[in-house]
Amino acid sequence: MLIAIPDVLSPAEVARVRTIIDAGSWVDGNATSGAQSALAKRNAQLPEDSAAAREAGGIVLDALGRSALFVAAALPLKVFPPLFNRYAGGQDFGLHVDTAVRVKRGSDFRIRSDLSATLFLEDPADYDGGELMIEGQFGPQSVKLPAGHMVLYPASSLHRVMPVTRGTRTASFFWLQSMVRDEESRRILFDLDQAVQAVSVDKGLADPSVVHLTGVYHNLLRRWADV
């Protein structure tokens, strides 16, 4: 399931994050690459243990916690601390699959990467190229969202970042482990959650049908969750 999540960061939060990360010391993006990805990746990245990455990442994590759509779609158990990258001057990231298990350097924190996320931090009009291309069941999907918006997609999918031919593409990226490991089960729960929300708008939370559907949702989550 690929889902765009709008307005994860407000314009003021985007500006604050950009002030923090733009003043940071950027390094070669292959600092976090596996052997295969290193052959395809050309970009710059903030070191994950830098003060700028930690401060900006905290803003992103706080925003994720406020996003009901993100929580419903991802059912997050653990989130890898957000990282930050940028592409310019023809840089790109060729076709690849994200590493299955991500380990935070210098710690025992690790996650199974069920989902990948890209949070855009640049106005699309300010750069050419840089589309995130995600291979799916019905062919490749191109994603290029406004600053502050995020896309969530299976970490198991083949994907790439197209060359940036004008300007700079700046984004945050990270992975998460879901409480529900199976992708199809997550999709069913998300669809059911969205249906419950829609029905509750018309009938109210106390309506018996809404209470019943809510119970079905939680019983399925109880069956499928691994916490």
- Digitized pLDDT (tens) for each residue of the chain, 227 residues in all: 899 999 999 999 999 999 999 999 999 977 655 555 566 889 999 999 999 999 999 999 999 999 999 999 999 999 999 999 999 999 999 999 999 999 988 888 999 999 999 999 999 999 999 999 999 888 899 999 999 999 999 999 999 999 999 999 999 999 999 999 999 999 999 999 999 999 999 888 888 999 999 999 999 999 999 98
What b/e readout covers 91-116, taking b as 16+ CB neighbours within 10 angstroms? bbbeebbbeeebeeeeeeeebbbbbb
What pLDDT is attached to residue 33? Answer: 53
140 burial level (CB within 10 Å; 0-12, 13-18, 19+): middle
For the chain, where do the domains classified as CATH 2.60.120.620 start and end? Answer: 3-178
> Shortest CA distance to 102 belongs to which of 111, 115, 94, 93?
111
Query: What span, in angstroms and rounded, lies between the C-alpha atoms of 101 and 226?
Result: 17
Distances (CA, A) of 22 to 26, 35, 54, 121, 147: 9, 28, 14, 11, 15
Query: What span, in angstroms and rounded, lies between the C-alpha atoms of 45 and 24?
Result: 10
For the chain, where do the domains classified as CATH 4.10.860 start and end? Answer: 183-224
What pLDDT is attached to residue 36? Answer: 56
| CA atoms in the 13 A half-sphere facing the CB of 205 | 0
pTM of the predicted structure, to 2 decimals: 0.92
Q: Which CATH superfamily hosts domain 3-178? A: q2cbj1_9rhob like domain (2.60.120.620)
CATH 1.10.1060 corresponds to the domain 183-224:
no
Question: Within its chain, how far is the Cα of 89 from the centroid?
Answer: 24
